[in-house]
Amino acid sequence: MKVLVPVKRVIDYNIRPRVKADGSGVDLVNVKMSMNPFDEIALEEAVRLREKGQASEVIAVSIGPAKAQDTLRTALAMGADRAILIVVETEVEPLAVAKLLKAVADEEQPGVVILGKQAIDDDCNQTGQMLAALMGRPQGTFASAVSVAGDRVEVTREVDGGLETVSLALPAVITADLRLNEPRYASLPNIMKARSKPLAQKTPADYRVDITPRLTTLKVAEPPVRAAGVVLDSVDALVAKLKELGISA
């Protein structure tokens, strides 16, 4: 079976984002970009399924600017067999992303779609669930373990109460959580080989998907600076301070 892995180009997790002076968004000028960490985990799991003989091909797909080719080349170096870039120079909302991914899935017919549970730039945690609904396929979200057997896949999910294991009929949609695996590093030979692997470029128009935004960002602001703490020398002083702040039990 094929495995489809959506990957997103985001600000590197080691970089502190800067808000634009006019509050219209996050400043991306001269900022290091990389693959969304949760998508790296999803890609690693797909490559492991192929190495176990449970998948025949791993296809990476990204929706973003032309520079997202670099992210897809990284995915190819990590083990993806081929890649698809849907070129969009503007921000794309989760619903539009899900619609585009559904169109790709309709064309490729993957047995499993594995994607990160969320992107670290917007933290929406919506695309996987929306994609499963649009495709009418079962979903296993927040996966910490994945096991394919025949025409079913067992997914161990991280939930508030602990762990939950669900058995899904294939084809299915899985979103990867942090503890699913440890992604491999792309070796230099694989980085060189990735240059010759196929990378197709498409547009939303090729899939007849409308990506017109439904939301408007009014303002982006830095979180408020946390006030410094105060060291008190007694319980009485603590009680007095709480009363001063208007805090009651």
| β-pair type (152-159, 139-149) | antiparallel
CA distance 203 to 201: 7
Contact between 223 and 17 under an 8 Å Cβ cutoff? The reply is no
For 162-208, what is each residue's pLDDT tens digit? 899 999 999 999 999 999 999 999 889 999 999 999 999 999 999 99
For 49-96, what is each residue's pLDDT tens digit? 999 999 999 999 999 999 999 999 999 999 999 999 999 998 899 999
Predicted confidence at residue 142, as pLDDT, reads 95
CA distance 249 to 242: 9
| CATH class held by domain 2-244 | alpha beta
